[in-house]
Structure 1
Amino acid sequence: MAVARPTPADPTPGLAAAAGPGDQRAVPPELGPESLAVLSGPTFMYSDPAGDVPPGSIGGLVHLDTRLVSGWVLTVDGHRFPVLRSETLDHYSAQFMLTNPELPGLPPDSLTARRLRYVGDGFHERIEFVSFCTEPVRFEVRLAVAADFADLFEVKSGVRDRSADIVRGHGAGGAALSFRYERDGFTATTELRSSVPPDRIEGDDLVWQVELDPRADWKVDLVVPLAPGLGVVEPVRGDIAEVVHRRADDPLRRWTESRALLHSDNPVLERVARKTRYDLAALRLELEVKGQRVMLPGAGLPWFLTVFGRDTLITAYQTLVAGPGLAQGALLALARLQGTRCDDFTDEEPGRILHEVRSGELTRTGTKPYTPYYGTADATQLWLILLSEYWRWSGDDELVRRLREHALAALHWVDAYGDRDGDGYVEYATRSPEGLGNQCWRDSPDGVCFSDGRIPVLPIATSEIQGYTYDAKLRLAELADGPLADAPLAARLRADAVRLYERFNRDFWLDERGGFYAVGLDGDKTPIDSKTSNMGHLLWSGIVPPERAEAVVRQLMHEDMFTGWGIRTLSREDRPYNALGYHLGTVWPHDNSIAALGMARYGYRAEANRIALALLDVAEQFGYRLPEALSGYARDRTMFAVPYPTACSPQAWAAGAPLALIRAMLGLNPVDGRLELDPDVPPELGRVTAERVRAFGRRWDLEAVARTGYVRLAPD
């Protein structure tokens, strides 16, 4: 019986509802294109290039979906510092080099300020000043601090004023400042500790009067402790100088050094692979599952540093070539949180794999349904696909048998709940007043539409979800023949897959415009006739008949779809096309990596390589990191790649995309306890080698150039 919950009262009267994950409404003032973030697990500090967080911006210190610091502005004699240069040093640390403006008694550029910061067991910042004046100087240093305790959802749209419920303390319990918020059973605390007590506190500003002789320096260390919680990883610890100079023990560095290592004659590929390793390390989350600590990828900075279904599963699939740890963690963690009942508010159903988990106030007090929220129609199948792929790479029969009941529950969800009307297709339609309208990867409100821009009626069966379902059933049949030892189940699943294959290719194929697959069927079973990148997912799943593969590849690589940087999410022919539309013409690296794997599967290696080389060119332009999404402008028009305005960076499945592209180029696959190589490496990349590739509990080395190569066990 479904649990119906009343909609809680609006906590933000007079403001627009907080934006959900697929809602790309305007946000408060940005911090500028040179903004910097340091992050560790579910914690990040976002600031402008000076290291400041102006009140009212989207910046601040966010921990477990709650903004603990919303204002953090450093001034000298009431003026902000010009920036000399600022950079992240590691994902968790940054340095800001500043100078002074012209001030009475203080010539310009006579005072150097350096800010060092890192996120670990707390938020740490050191502020240093050095005087190059020829005479002693005296100046005022002020740090203006604010804590609004906004839920992360609110930061994206509009923040409720909580000031009446925030209790402030000055100098209490060893803290220079303390803020405590409590309402409706939700509490949050921010404490700021200072190594040098301020000369005075004005409001929530710490003020020091600093006197410096020529060449003398002054410094203060500031710490905001952080509470433990869901996803918090083993942090780096130590004196801030030791941390930023990489002399402290660093769990992140230890993790990356144990991963597979890639080399190439092409330095761009090598640098992109290195960046991928560090980005995936930075986005790790830790959970405990039945006493076992597991790691899995969070989705992305800044909005999605939490456990997801779809994003986490696809990232884990992409990264299996670098090791099984993230995939194993994703499988265990998501199985632990698998749905067990029907709940209209959270869209939970038995066997369903979640969409997203949150821990901020709006979730904890019942305004938002992310406890977890289960509104995704593809994560359950993707979990089954990952279980199969993990087994193919590891041969871990024990884990498959351990997850048997979860796999059967997932299958039951697909057949009994996913197929809402018994027509053999998995459809979606939210029951929650706070739920997502689109529950596929194109989850923005207009992400699935007709070619003329009309929004389809619910429930919707999108094409790629049927492909995932087809693949999941065939893979589960393989597991049923193997470690699950259930031959009748295997036979039933293969028969189901054959029927789905035939039905899908009858109902989703459209002969017009050169022939292509509709993006979906609406609630009236009308084909939704927009031409989208979802066709690449169909190649990946294997649901496309060989005789149609050429037409699908041709559509994807036509100039209406392929920009020169990658495949657009929507054809330029369709009326809703927008080069800056979230799912209406942008280019998503993860989407393209799936298409490349699909093209390689069907033997279209040149086209897969064209996608790979295009995305390597993109990565080179963005510090060897692929952003979440690119604008869909044609390459021959703009000449450089244009990012989507609010793209996450780093973002997990964008970080994992290069590994999937490399796998497609190498033709690297696990087969019966060994790794097989079928390379087609483009000449631009020359020789590609990889060391410490882990499969079947052993390490492997491989090398490929053009269409030749080898793979062999690495020496112990």
Structure 2
Amino acid sequence: MKELVSILDGNTFLVSDRRGDIEPSHDRPTGLFSFDTRFLSTWLLTVDGDRLHALSIDDSESYRTRFFLAPGEPTHYLDARVSVLRTRTIGGSFDEQLTVLNHAKEEAEFIVRVEMGADFADIFEIKAVLRKKGRTEATVEPNTLRLTYRREHFHREATISSSAAAEVDEAGMTFRVRIPPHGEWTTRLHVATLIFGARGEDFRATTPLGGTRSVGSIQVEQDELISRAPKLGCDCEPLATAYNRSLRDLASLRYESITFGSRLLAAGLPWFMTLFGRDSIFTALQVLPFLPDLVRPTINLLAGLQGTRLDDFRDEEPGKILHELRYGETAGFEEQPHSPYYGSADSTPLFVILVDEYERWTGDVQLIVALEDHVRKALDWVDTYGDLLGTGYIWYETRNPDTGLPNQCWKDSLDSISFRDGALPAFPRATCEMQGYAYDAKLRAARMARKFWNDPAYADRLEREAAELKERFNRDFWLPEREYYALALDPEGRPVDALTSNIGHLLWSGIVDPERAGRIAGHLLGPDLFSGWGVRTMAEGQGRYNPIGYHVGTVWPFDNSIIAWGLWRYGLRDEAGRVCRAMIEAAKYFGGRLPEAFAGYDRSLTDYPVEYPTACSPQAWSAGTPLLMLRVLLGLEPQGEHLIIDPLVPPGMGRIELLDIPGRWGRVDALGRSRDETS
């Protein structure tokens, strides 16, 4: 989505084209959004009836962008008698300052027009042909256009005002301006996004942070957050750039939950600006060694929204951790089940893993004791509702065939789980990585039960169940003729034999028999899976392989960070370093900001990683990738009250120094050098 430009502050964000314009579209997520509703679907600037073209764009800050524009085609720029500066900021509301510059020696008149409109589309409706069930009205007031949408109790409003005198109509504002020689004219357009509650007021105004924030307060908050992170010094400029970019993006993705008042990390712009179970957990695991105070609110909210009942519409089951929480119209009227939705089978064991890892870094025993019942219920779900076929594995099949997700693993697109020849297995499905998560969750819960809950019998039982799961898994999922683990089992217990990156998550979980780890690493770093820029989601040569297929051949940075962590866990340090180095080199071509995914073309075909056209950027678990890679390269591992530091830096990367790493030990420093520079 490089042709699009975005600004964001938490759950309010704006996506435009490179001129700063927004036009109605169902194939691109352009517009002004807040809490899953599009408040502007049209925002189009003309001067004397002409569209403008970008001379330059300054989008170095997440909450502020400047567009330098001129009318006409690029070949006419030299003789342009007028140029326009659009400066926009966001902070709950949206502000744009328009400055028209007259470059002529004589006074000039211009007609400046901004077309304005709002379809109030729900985020789920963007790709659909809208058939809104409510009523939209446009009200013209002096220098103000009020756009309102109502459907029963659902009430949203965009109020657009101008600081300069404007001719206002239901479709926008016109300014007839006279500018002296070499002079300028300016107006400030303010767009207030109003989300009305039952009492008829914008209920964001009652939250601790309020509905609107100044640019200054956003900058102070982001700078304060970044100042708490460890300081990185290194010889590898792409790593330094990626680290700093990641901290900025993680700071910008923080938002306040309307309902629960917690400060959380949104999963990614533009489609995922909300809490996700799986995404939020993985991001928390990535940032834990760097910004541990971001993690506790996520844990508490996931625990607070843990499933308590059987609800087919929402795929909810007792003990299950949510998949996604939405605030828009379709969720409010139960046209979509996301209020919240529980359609992920892996978020529940991952929740247990995160709780334990959080304590190991922070020493926050109080939280572990408080969450005992939640962890037990999560593990009960693994053994009952999660085990649909009673075979000792986690299976998934949606309870809601109309709007539920068919695939409820992290590769949740329709064609992501397939046999080697491309055939799709029936449901329910048991993907391999989920069994690894369950294994790890049981061992971690056993540690918590023995150390904090005073229940050694429960700990013994969990350890026994984990050992049995590991033995059973290595028997049923291993493909001896191919020497890797099956992607999944189908309902008949037949291995789904496509070669995919999921086997790297097995290394991270520890469920792989040690004597097989080397063969798994050989596949991950072999030519079919490893593109040279990273590990592909699916190996070249598989029936559904596509280097620009969402989960069937692209490279996902977050996936690679977990794979590198898994290789490190089994002592495969050189292989882990290769993955880290490839990802850091790829980041250089994205300005340090790793996208959600990029194409899986082999590095021999291209001198740079090829963009995936609809990838989210920034995305939280992609922003967290450089952080986790630093942990892997420096060999950071908590052990009691101490932090073990065991670096292995790939050749050519030079010195890596990470200062003030926070944890239960206080703050410590870590230093590593690549082996070719240590002598």
Specify the TM-score bucket, using the shorter chain as the normaliser: over 0.9
Secondary structure in structure 2 of the residue aligned to 1:420: coil
1:703 CA drift (Å): 1.6
Matches within 5 A, 1:655-670: 655-670=623-638
CA distance in 1, matches of 2:209, 2:423: 48
CA distance in 1, matches of 2:155, 2:665: 45
- The one-letter code sitting in structure 1 at the alignment partner of 2:500 is T
- The one-letter code sitting in structure 2 at the alignment partner of 1:41 is G
**Would the aligned equivalents of 2:652 and 2:676 in 1 still touch at CA under 8 Å?**
no
Q: Give the one of 428, 449, 471 matched to 1:480.
A: 449
Partner residue, 1:94: 65
CA distance in 2, matches of 1:586, 1:668: 29
CA distance in 2, matches of 1:389, 1:248: 30
CA distance in 2, matches of 1:236, 1:176: 20
Cα displacement string for residues 462-499 of structure 1 (whole angstroms, at most 9, x for unaligned residues): 00000000000000001111122211111010000000
1:640 CA drift (Å): 1.5
Alignment of 1:405 with 2:373, yes or no, is yes
**Would the aligned equivalents of 2:140 and 2:169 in 1 still touch at CA under 8 Å?**
no
Q: Give the one of 433, 438, 445 matched to 1:464.
A: 433
- The one-letter code sitting in structure 2 at the alignment partner of 1:202 is D
Partner residue, 2:481: 512
Partner residue, 1:65: 36
Partner residue, 1:558: 526
Partner residue, 1:250: 220
CA distance in 2, matches of 1:487, 1:556: 38
Secondary structure in structure 2 of the residue aligned to 1:636: coil
Matches within 5 A, 1:403-552: 403-432=371-400, 433-513=402-482, 515-552=483-520
- The one-letter code sitting in structure 1 at the alignment partner of 2:192 is P
CA distance in 2, matches of 1:107, 1:695: 57
Cα displacement string for residues 687-706 of structure 1 (whole angstroms, at most 9, x for unaligned residues): 11112211017222222223
Partner residue, 1:306: 274
Change (3 A) 1:248 1:577: closer
Partner residue, 1:285: 255
Instruction: List, as ranges, runs of 4+ consecutive aligned residues in structure 1 with deviation greater than 2 Å.
Output: 55-58, 161-164, 226-239, 246-250, 285-290, 293-296, 706-710
Secondary structure in structure 2 of the residue aligned to 1:637: coil
Partner residue, 2:569: 601
Secondary structure in structure 1 of the residue aligned to 2:652: helix
CA distance in 2, matches of 1:546, 1:609: 19
Cα displacement string for residues 338-390 of structure 1 (whole angstroms, at most 9, x for unaligned residues): 11111000000111000001111111111000010001000011110000100
Change (3 A) 1:471 1:233: farther
Q: Give the one of 94, 100, 113 matched to 2:84.
A: 113
Partner residue, 1:210: 177
Alignment of 1:653 with 2:624, yes or no, is no
Partner residue, 1:43: 12
Partner residue, 2:198: none
Partner residue, 1:684: 652
Q: Give the one of 216, 234, 239 matched to 1:269.
A: 239
**Would the aligned equivalents of 1:461 and 1:520 in 2 still touch at CA under 8 Å?**
yes
1:257 CA drift (Å): 1.8
Percent identity among equivalent residues? 42
What is the count of residue pairs matched by the alignment?
Answer: 665
CA distance in 1, matches of 2:218, 2:583: 35
Q: Give the one of 584, 600, 608 matched to 1:640.
A: 608
Change (3 A) 1:285 1:90: same
**Would the aligned equivalents of 1:400 and 1:483 in 2 still touch at CA under 8 Å?**
yes
CA distance in 2, matches of 1:263, 1:35: 32
**Would the aligned equivalents of 1:703 and 1:709 in 2 still touch at CA under 8 Å?**
no
Change (3 A) 1:350 1:55: same
Q: Give the one of 144, 151, 172 matched to 1:176.
A: 144
1:642 CA drift (Å): 0.6
Secondary structure in structure 1 of the residue aligned to 2:643: strand
CA distance in 2, matches of 1:613, 1:355: 32
CA distance in 1, matches of 2:98, 2:336: 39
Secondary structure in structure 2 of the residue aligned to 1:250: helix
**Would the aligned equivalents of 2:33 and 2:40 in 1 still touch at CA under 8 Å?**
yes
CA distance in 1, matches of 2:236, 2:203: 42
CA distance in 2, matches of 1:84, 1:217: 18
CA distance in 1, matches of 2:547, 2:208: 37
Secondary structure in structure 2 of the residue aligned to 1:145: strand
Q: Give the one of 81, 88, 95 matched to 1:124.
A: 95
Secondary structure in structure 2 of the residue aligned to 1:322: coil
1:282 CA drift (Å): 1.0
Partner residue, 1:701: 669
Alignment of 1:201 with 2:201, yes or no, is no
1:42 CA drift (Å): 1.2
- For structure 2, which runs of at least 5 residues remain unmatched after alignment? 195-201
Q: Give the one of 96, 107, 130 matched to 1:160.
A: 130
Secondary structure in structure 2 of the residue aligned to 1:512: coil
Secondary structure in structure 2 of the residue aligned to 1:606: helix
**Would the aligned equivalents of 2:651 and 2:675 in 1 still touch at CA under 8 Å?**
no
CA distance in 2, matches of 1:523, 1:479: 34
**Would the aligned equivalents of 1:256 and 1:278 in 2 still touch at CA under 8 Å?**
yes
Cα displacement string for residues 383-434 of structure 1 (whole angstroms, at most 9, x for unaligned residues): 1000010000011110101111111111111111111121100100001121
> So what's the TM-score if we normalise by structure 1?
0.89
**Would the aligned equivalents of 1:100 and 1:108 in 2 still touch at CA under 8 Å?**
no
Q: CA RMSD in A?
A: 2.3
Secondary structure in structure 2 of the residue aligned to 1:144: strand
Structure 1 stretch 633-642 or stretch 345-354: which is displaced more? 633-642
Matches within 5 A, 1:201-240: 201-227=168-194, 234=209
Q: Give the one of 109, 130, 138 matched to 1:138.
A: 109
Matches within 5 A, 1:548-627: 548-627=516-595
Cα displacement string for residues 194-242 of structure 1 (whole angstroms, at most 9, x for unaligned residues): 11130x2233120010000012211111111234678999489777xxx
Secondary structure in structure 1 of the residue aligned to 2:563: helix
Cα displacement string for residues 89-115 of structure 1 (whole angstroms, at most 9, x for unaligned residues): 31111000112339xxx9942212111
1:87 CA drift (Å): 2.5
- The one-letter code sitting in structure 1 at the alignment partner of 2:124 is F
- The one-letter code sitting in structure 1 at the alignment partner of 2:230 is A
1:541 CA drift (Å): 0.3
- For structure 1, which runs of at least 5 residues remain unmatched after alignment? 1-31, 711-716
CA distance in 2, matches of 1:625, 1:248: 20
